[in-house]
Chains A and B, each alone.
Chain A
Amino acid sequence: MCCKCWCLILLAGTLTVLAPAQSQAGWLFGDSTGVGRSGLNLDHGYDRNTVVTVTGRVAAVPAASSDPLTVELSDGTDNLVVVLGPRWYLQDDTLEWQAGDLVTVRGSRAQGMDGRSYLLAQWISTPGGGQLVLRNDAGRPGWSGGRRGERQGMGGSMQRGSGRKGR
């Protein structure tokens, strides 16, 4: 067998062995959800057990190309990636946070497989004093099960307007 064949076999073996080692970590030989680098279900994941309300300052505004849209928040001791929702769902909103803005956000907290803390937001305060509501109290996201703007029919907790940031 030629040298090139040996090198290809070695490379394939390396990728086969190292790729899972990088993307998975867990007892009983790791887990394999494979939802991005965080391993979290950022679109529809939400657990009421881990719901917290956090107040902190914006450390990084939503990136132009990121999907889902995220805001990085610092609460003084820790940095938190606040996951707002899919880009298509928020494309008509003006997300005008600036670095250093004081923001309050409520959502389900989780730690990703990349070691970072994530907050899957239920609602987040806006600089104008309003509130951008993204999920109902049960955690069902506004982008779940229909087109944007459709009512969710599950308790009517998608609050907009009336002193809050509406759509």
Chain B
Amino acid sequence: MSAMQQSRLQISLIVAGLVVTALLVWFAFSSYRSALPVAQVLQRGTALALGQAIEGLASRDPSFKTLAVFRTRELAFFVLLDRNGTIRFHSNPDLIGEQVGDDRYRSVFEQAGPQEQRVRLRTGELVYETHLPLHLPGETLALRLALHSWQADQIIQRARTGMALLLILTAAAWVLGLLALRLVRRDALQRVALVRSEQLARLGELGAVLAHEVRTPLAGIKGFAQLLAERTGDQRSRQCTDAILREIVRLEGLVNDLLLYARPDGPLPGVVDVDASLEEAWQLLSGEAAAAGISFELTGERGLTAACSAERFGQLVRNLLTNALQSMAEGGVLQVSSAVSNDAVVLCVADSGPGFVQDLLPRVFEPFVTTKVSGGGLGLAVCRRIVEDCNGSITAQNRPSGGALVTVRLPRVQSGERL
């Protein structure tokens, strides 16, 4: 599976997870919300049943003596009130004949419909209170019923706990999923690193072969070609020897790049003067640039120093500039800027060429990836090798205005600091 497919799969999984999470949250919350009316209906139903029972007893016994022994588990207390607020009956007989201190019972006589609410008693208990009309022979009283609400509260509490558990389990699933995703990504990166390490090992072996079997004879061929070029007077032969020498130089460059890429250097200690290296590299390439009609712009902070071997940094800059020059066959502007960001020296090399081929962009730093006919595809691979050996990073992108942009970040060294 390609990296792009993997990325799409991960995005699809995350989107699916978000959808499932949204559904679960909606389900949990709606379940919790539906518990509230269930609890209210339970209390209301109990109150109505008790009200009917009390009305029946009171109708049969106008002295209310039978009410004195009426008890149920749900009942906190109940009171019969007349229009003046006088307590005609109370489950605590001591209060009979007293006046109530509120007018909540009046809704019964004003025919405003049943009134229900939650009231906190002086014991600290929160009870369900409702007022119902009590129709007795000859008069109507208000029945104030106060019910324990523990059972109704339990319904809400369990719904709430269920919702909380569901949300926590969802959150836990997300945490575990993200951890798994992180492990998968780490595993993928390790696999890539392993493949690259094996690739480097193979290239190392190839480099050793090249050094012994190609470089030495190439030096001999080059010597003979130069000798021939000096001795021949024939114009046609001279052109041929020049062509042989050009190709030998190209082959030497390829072999050198390959050896440079495959050589296990490890960390590259040292401090490099960024400006000096840039100017030196440009001096080497200025002739070629002038011939191609390319101008050079150096901007940004000056006097920066980075933690890298001066020799390898020089190679890095030469490769980047060469790569940029080669992409501007029609001429243009080569812009190099240097800056400091978060204790790093940031070097940007931008050209006005056609830019990187979009499909190859993720792989431009891999060896032998190139669109140039005469290129070996090792220039940017060597750049990455150098930058990583200096504990830095390198990225490539196409500029919106056209052309390629390569950004190098290297650890910054303060002036006077030595590694």
- Residues on A facing B (Cβ under 8 Å): 3, 6-7, 10, 13-14, 17-18, 21-22, 24-28, 30-31, 33, 35, 38-42, 45-52, 78, 108-113, 115, 118, 120, 137, 139
The main secondary structure of chain B at its interface with chain A is: helix
Contact A40:B125 (CB < 8 A) given known A18-B161, A26-B153, A113-B150? yes
Q: How far is the CB of A78 from chain B (nearest CB, A)?
A: 7
Rounded to whole angstroms, the CA-CA distance of A135 and B241 in the bound complex is: 122
B-side contacts of A6, CB under 8 Å: 175, 178-179
Selected from A3, A18, A110, the residue in CB contact (under 8 A) with B164 is A18
CB distance from A150 to the nearest CB of B (A): 23
Is B123 touching A108 in the complex (CB atoms < 8 A)? yes
Most interface-central of B92, B122, B146, B178 (chain A CB within 10 A): B122
Residues of A within 8 A of B164 (CB): 17-18, 21
Q: Do A45 and B124 touch (CB < 8 A)?
A: yes
Interface contacts (Cβ under 8 Å), in number, total: 122
Contact of A49 with B153 at beta-carbon distance under 8 Å, contacts A26-B126, A41-B124 already known: no
Contacts of B36 in A (CB 8 A): 27
Q: Which of B146, B149, B160 has the most CB of A within 10 A?
A: B160
* B77 near A39: Cβ-Cβ < 8 Å: no
Q: Evaluate contact between A78 and B73: CB separation under 8 angstroms.
A: yes
Task: Identify the 3 closest CB pairs spanning chains A and B, nearest first.
Answer: A25-B153, A41-B124, A110-B123
Which B residues lie within 8 Å of A24 (CB)? 157
Q: Which of B92, B152, B156, B175 contacts A50 (CB 8 A)?
A: B92
For chain B, the count of residues having a C-beta within 8 Å of the partner chain is 40
Say yes or no: A17 contacts B168, CB within 8 Å: yes
Q: List 12 A-B contacts (CB under 8 A).
A: A3-B179, A14-B168, A25-B150, A25-B160, A27-B36, A27-B40, A41-B123, A47-B125, A49-B77, A108-B122, A109-B76, A120-B123
- Considering only residues 106-149 of chain B, those with a C-beta below 8 Å from chain A are 118, 120-126, 146, 148-149
B 30-43 to A, binary, CB cutoff 8 A, 1 in contact else 0: 00000010011000
